[in-house]
Structure 1
C-alpha cells in the first residue's frame, strides 16, 4: 500500500468562533441526515459557507443573528471587487439563503436577511449574427413541398420582421394584414404591436397560405404556422427545423430563431444607424436592451448624438483676454 497522504483543503470554519462554525456544521449534518444530499453537494455548501463566514468574521461578525441585508450586500460587493463571476455570486447567495432558512427552522433566527437580495446579473451571451451572404445561403430553399415552404416562410419572417420565436409561433392567420404590409404581433407582457414586413417575407408567407390547407385538419385552427399534424407549431419544432436547415444549407454556425432576429437587428442598425427605430421594431421597452442586443457601446451613441443633435454642435467659447 502507498503511504502517500491525501491532501485535503483546510476547513476555514476551524479558525472561526464556535458561534459561527457550529451552526454551519449543524446545517451540513441536516443536509446529510435529513435531506439526503450527495457528498459533492454538501462539500459545495461547506466551501461556500466557510468563505462567507470568514468574510463576515473579518468584518466583525461573531454570531449569525448579527447579519443583516447591508452586510450581505457588502459581501456581494467584495466578491465583485475580487472579480467573482455572477454565477459564483448566485451560488454563494443561494447557499446563504438555504442556511438562514435552516436557522429559522431551528428558531435561531426570525427572518432571512438574504431574502430579496439579488446578486449581479449574469450577462447573457448574444449569438453571433449571420452576415448577408450567410443569410442568402440559408434562405435559398427552393423546394416546393408544404413543409419546406412553411419553413422558409418562418425563416423569412424571423429575419424579415425581427420577431421573437414565441411571437412567431403564436401568430394567427388573421394577424396578417390583407395587403401584406404589416403583421399584428403579441409580444412580451401581452403587448400588441404592428410590425412592417414586405419583400421576400411577404411573398413566402403568402405562398405558405396557399399550401396551409394541405396540413390543416381542423378548419377552426387559427394558427398561421402548422405542424405536420395540423396543429399550431411548437417552439421546439421551430428550433429543430431551423437547426436542420442550417445543416442542409451548409451554414457554418448553428441556426436558431434568435440568431435570425439578432441578424435582422444588426443589419437594420448597420444600414440605418437608427437605434430608436430598431427598438420599436424589436419591441423593446427600454432602449438599453436594444443597445446591448446590437453590440453598441456608449462611444458610438455619443458620436451619433454629436452628429445629429442640434444642441450638440456648439461653438467653442472664445477665450477672454
Structure 2
C-alpha cells in the first residue's frame, strides 16, 4: 500500500532504503524512521501537486512542508528529525548523480531544546541491582543483565542480542555489535563478571529449552525482546522503591553520567557508548553539570 505515494516515488524510496541497508548497515528501526518521515513528506506534497517527484523536491516545497507542520503544532524535535531524513536522502541523490543541487542549503532546521535524559543516582542504581532474587534462575538472569547494562552502557537492543562468543569473562570484556554494524570492546567489571558467572553456571541451563548461543534467554528459551526486558526493569524499580521515570536508556544514561561525575574523559565515554559523533555524548556533560549544581545549591552554605 502506497496511499498517496506515486509508483515513482515509492520506487525511489525503496532504492534509497536498500542502499542504507546494504551500505550503511542501519537497523530496521532507523530505516523505518526514514521511511515514515519521507512518506509523510511525499504525501503532503503530492496533495499539493499530483505530479510531485521526490527527487526533484525544491526549497519552496520544503518551506511549504515546514509551514504545514508548524501550523499543525508538530514539535520542533519531530520536524528536525524529518529534515535530517530528507538531508540523508538528498546526500544519496547527490552521490548517485540523480541531482546536482542541494535544496536544503538555505533551509535552517528548527531549534530544539536540549533534552536532559532521566538518570538514576548511584544509590538508586545499587538498590535496583540488589532487587532480583538470585535464588531463582530468572533472578540470576535479570541480575546479570542489570549488572552488564550498568557496567557497559549497552543499548538494550545490544544487551538482549548478546551471543556467547561476544563475551570473554577471562579477559573481562564484551564485544558489542552496535549501530552501523560497528564493533567496540567494552570492559565488564568485577560485579558484572560475578553475576554472569553465576548465571552461566546455574540459571541459564534451567531457562534454555534447546541449544542456543543467546546469553540471556527468555523463560521460553528464546531471545528476549527489549520490551520484555524493560518490563523486568520496571518491576525491579517498584521492588526497590524507585520513583524515577524509567526509559529504555535509563541505565545507559546512568552509566555515562556516573563515569563523568567521577572524572572520566568525554572521549572515553564516547567510545564506550559507541557514539560516532562526540556531540551526541556531550549531552551527558549537561547532565553531570546539572547534578553538581544541584549538590552545591543543596549543601553549600551560600548555595
Q: 2: distance between equivalents of 1:159 and 1:131? A: 12
Show structure 1 runs of 5+ residues with no match: 1-47, 54-67, 94-112, 299-321
**Does structure 2 conserve the Cα–Cα contact (< 8 Å) formed by 1:158 and 1:257?**
no
Q: What is the aligned partner in structure 2 of residue 218 from structure 1?
A: 210
Confirm whether residue 208 of structure 1 aligns to residue 199 of structure 2.
Answer: yes
SS at match of 1:239: helix
Other structure's SS at 2:185 match: strand
2:207·2:218 contact (CA, 8 Å) conserved in 1? Answer: yes
CA contact (8 A) 1:291 1:297 kept: no
Partner of 1:278: 269
Shift of the 297–252 alpha-carbon distance from structure 1 to 2, 3 Å rule, reads: closer
SS in structure 2 at match of 1:179:
coil
Query: After the TM superposition, which of the residue ranges 81-90 and 193-202 deviates more from structure 2?
Result: 81-90
Residue pair 2:260, 2:288 contacting (<8 A) in 1 also: no
- Which residue in 2 is equivalent to 1:20? none
How far, CA to CA, are the matches of 2:78 and 2:161 in structure 1?
36
> Number of residues paired by the alignment?
215
| Partner Cα distance (1:238, 1:230) in 2 | 14
- Tell me the TM-score normalised to structure 2 length: 0.60
Question: Structure 1 residues 196 and 133 mapped into 2: Cα distance closer, same or farther (>3 Å)?
Answer: same
User: 1:167–1:186: 8 Å Cα contact kept in structure 2?
Assistant: yes
**Displacement of 1:233:** 1.1
Higher RCO by CA contacts (8 Å cutoff, separation 6 or greater): 2
1:128 is matched with: 118
Task: Determine whether 1:70 maps to 2:59.
Answer: yes
Q: Is residue 2:167 matched to residue 1:176? A: yes
User: Offset of 1:288 from its aligned partner?
Assistant: 0.6
Moved more, 246-255 or 223-232: 246-255
Q: Does 2:146 correspond to 1:162?
A: no
CA contact (8 A) 1:163 1:261 kept: yes
Please identify the structure whose Cα radius of gyration is greater: 1
Distance 1:118 1:226 in 2: 46
Q: Deviations over 1:222-272 (max 9, x none)?
A: 100010011111111111111111111111113344100000000001112
TM (norm. structure 1) is 0.57
Indicate the SS of the match to 2:146. helix
CA–CA separation in structure 1 for the residues paired with 2:168 and 2:158: 16
Q: CA deviation at 1:185?
A: 0.7
Task: Tell me, in whole angstroms, the C-alpha distance in 2 between the residues paired with 1:77 and 1:217.
Answer: 52
Whether contact under 8 Å (2:117, 2:287) holds in the other structure is: no
Alignment of 1:74-89 (within 5 A): 85-86=75-76
1:197 to 178, 181, 188: 188
